[in-house]
Amino acid sequence: MMKGKEREITIEPITRIEGHLGVHVKIDTEARKITDAYAYSPMFRGFEIILRGREPSDAVMITQRSCGVCPVPHALASVTAVDQVYGVSPPPMGVTLRDLVHGAEQLYDAEVGVLNLEGPDYSEVAVKKFNPEWWEEAQKTKAPRSDVHGFATIADIMTALNPLAGELYLKSLLVQKAGHNMASIFGAKHPHVHSFVPGGIAKINLSASDIESYLTLLMRHVAFTKELVTVTDDLLDFVLAHGYEDVGARKANLGSVGAYNDPEAYSAKYEEMTDWARKRLVSPGVILDGELVTTDLVEFNVGVREFIGRGWYSSEWEQEVEADPLGNKIMKEHPWNKRTVPKPGEYGKWESLYSWVTATRWWHGKGDGKNHVVELGPLARMWVTAKAGLVPESTGNSLKFELPAALIPGFKYAEKMEFEWKIPEKPNAVERIRARAYYHAYSAYCMLNMVMKSLELLKAGKSDVWTPYEKPKEGIGFGAIEAMRGACSHWCVMKKGVIHNYQYQAPTTWNASCRDPEEKPGPYDEALIQTPITEAGESEGWKGIDVVRAIRSFDPCMGCAVHVHIGKQIVKHELLPFAVPL
C-alpha cells in the first residue's frame, strides 16, 4: 500500500521454523527507513489452560510440546520449578546429567540458527538478488580467516550458505545429528526428552561409557565450532563494512537467567537461588542502557510483569500471591498471579488489539521503579556473562576461553584455538548472529567442563541421579534456564496437590511482545523502527529483506513458509523448505 512517501508491508509468516509470526511495517520510501512496526502472532495455543488441575510433574512432559526445536529448556525450566514446588533437590550427578542434555540441545540449535535459519539471508542467492553490489565486492574480498575455515573469499562463504546446496548449509544439518544423539544418551530421546523428573533424572545404571559416548560426539562440535565462528566473523565483518550497523539496532536493554549449573551448589530452595544462580557458567543478570543493574535471579524473577497490552486476552484476574518466599513484593502482573484468559479479536487492527503475544516487561523495583523493554537471546547472555565477572572467562568487556585440539575426520581445523567474544558497540542484526556463533563455542567449552565434572563425581562414588521425596499438598516454584533464543521461565502454584496456576514464557514471549499499557513497542518492533532499507531497486519492488534479516537475527521459533501481503494484494511465493524468502 502506498500513501505518498509511505509504503506498508505485511510479511506473514516470517521465519523458517515452527510457529506463527507476522510483522507489519511502515516505510518512508524517500528516507529509506522503517517508521513503525508491529510484530504479532496469529495463533493461540493455550498450554497453560491445559495444565490446570494436573499433577505439577505432568508439566515437565506437556510443556516440552510447545516446541520441537527447543524442548529441553522447557523441560529443564519446568522440572526446576517443580523441584521447588515439591521441595526436592537433585543430587549433583542428577544436576550434571540434566545440564549435559541441555548443552547438547544448545549446541545443535546454535549452529542450525546461524547457518540454516539466518545464513540463507546472506547467501549468494539472496545477496545477488537484494544487494548485488555486495556480491560484486564479495568476489574480490579475501576471507581473513581462510586458514581455519578454508573459504578463499567472502563470496565463497556466501555460496556455501545457499539453501539445500551450500557446503556450510549441508554440513550444519549433518553436525546437528551429533547434538540430537548426545541429548538422547541421558534424555532417552530427542526431541521431547523423557528422563527429567522432579528430584533428578531417570537414568538407570549410569556408567563411564555413557559419558565417554557423549564426549565422543561433543568433540565433533568442538571441531566444527572453529569453522563456524571464523566463517561467521569473516562474513559479518564484511556486512558491517557495507553499512549494516543500524539494521535491527536498539539500545542495550538485555536480560539473562543463566545456564549450566554448578552441580554441588544447585538446590531446589528458592531462598538459596541468588547464590547458586550466580555460580552458573552462563551468568544471570539484567543490563539497562548498557549498564549491569543486577546479577540476582531472585530480583529478575520479582521484576517480571506480563501485561496484556494489545494482546487478545482478558486482564481480569485476582492477585493471589503478594510476596515471594523471601518476602519480596510480587505484582499483580507477575506470572504467579497472571492468568491465561483468551479474548479473540479482529486481525490487522494495528491501532487496537492485534496479537496473541502479550507485553512482558522487567520492572526495576530496586532501581528506577520503571518497566523496561528487555531483549533476550545469545547476545544478552554473552553480554551479561562478559560484564558480570562471575566466571573466570569474564574480563568485564569480553569472554575469553580456549578449546582443545580435535582431530576429527571431515573437519578442517584440528589445532587448539583461543576465542574472545567482545561486547559490541550496540545490539543489532549482525551482532545477534555473531553472538549465537560464539555461544556455540562457549557451550562446547562449558560441556567439556561438565563432562569432566561428571567423571569426577563418578570416580568419587557420587553416582546417585535422583532424590526420593514426599509430595506436599501446596507449593510454589520458579524455574528458569537459557534456551537458544533466550530465557525460558516457568512458574507453578500448587494447591491441594494439583496445579492451581501454571505460566511459562518462551524467549519470544519477550522479544515479540506487543505494545504495552505505556504504548512501548517490544524488542522486535524497536529493532525494526528506524532500520534502514538497503534493498536494491525502486520502492515498489521491495520485498522486505532488511525486515526479515532484522527479525531473524533474534532467531524466532515460529513458522517457515512465507507470503507477502501488500494492501488487498497477496503475493505468494512457492519455496522449497528453508529457501530464501520473498
Domains in the chain with CATH codes: 2-59+70-466+477-572 (1.10.645.10)
- Helix, strand, coil share (%) of the chain residues, nearest 5: 40, 20, 40
Q: Is the pTM of this model over 0.85?
A: yes
Cα dihedral 71→73→76→81 (10° resolution):
-110
The two counts, helices (H) then strands (E), for the chain are 17, 19
How far does the chain reach from its first CA to its final CA, in angstroms?
17
Q: What is the pLDDT of residue 481?
A: 98
Q: How far apart are CA 240 and CA 424, in angstroms?
A: 12
Q: How far apart are CA 321 and CA 429, in angstroms?
A: 39
Give yes or no for a contact between 64 and 18, defined as CB atoms under 8 angstroms apart.
no
Q: How far apart are CA 189 and CA 152, in angstroms?
A: 40
Place of cell 576461553: 401
Tell the burial category of 455 from Cβ atoms under 10 Å away from its Cβ (0-12, 13-18, 19+).
Answer: middle
What is the full DSSP assignment across 257-319? EEES--TTT--S-GGGHHHHHHTSSEEEEEEETTEEEE--HHHHHHHEEEE-TTBSB------
Specify the DSSP element, H or E, that contains 458.
helix 429-459
- CB atoms < 10 A from the CB of 282, how many? 26
Q: How far apart are CA 149 and CA 16, in angstroms?
A: 26
The alpha carbon of residue 308 and the mean position of all alpha carbons in its chain are separated, in whole angstroms, by 22
Q: What is the pLDDT of residue 571?
A: 39
SS (HEC) of 315-380: CCCCCCCCECCCCCECCCCCCCCCCCCECCCCCCCCCCCCECCCEEEEECCCCCCCEECCECCHHH
Peptide bond into 335 cis (omega under 30): no
Q: Phi and psi for 453 in degrees, rounded to 5?
A: -65, -40
Place of cell 502506498: 2
Tell which residue, 542, 550, 552, 525, has the closest CA to residue 582: 542
pLDDT of the chain, 582 residues: tens digit per residue: 445 589 999 988 877 665 578 999 999 999 999 999 999 988 888 888 999 999 999 999 999 988 777 889 999 999 999 999 999 999 999 999 999 999 999 999 999 999 999 999 999 999 999 999 999 999 999 999 999 999 999 999 999 999 999 999 999 999 999 999 999 999 998 989 999 999 999 998 999 999 999 999 999 999 999 999 999 999 999 999 999 999 999 999 999 999 999 999 999 999 999 999 999 999 999 999 999 999 999 999 999 999 999 999 999 999 999 999 999 999 999 999 999 999 999 999 999 999 999 999 999 999 999 999 999 999 999 999 999 999 999 999 999 999 999 999 999 999 999 999 999 999 999 999 999 999 999 999 999 999 999 999 999 999 999 999 999 999 999 999 999 999 999 999 999 999 999 999 999 999 999 999 999 999 999 999 999 999 999 888 899 999 999 999 999 874 222 233 334 444 343 333 333 333
**DSSP letter (8 states) at residue 575:** -
Give the residues across from 401 on adjacent strands: 419
Cell numbers of 464, please?
Answer: 546417585
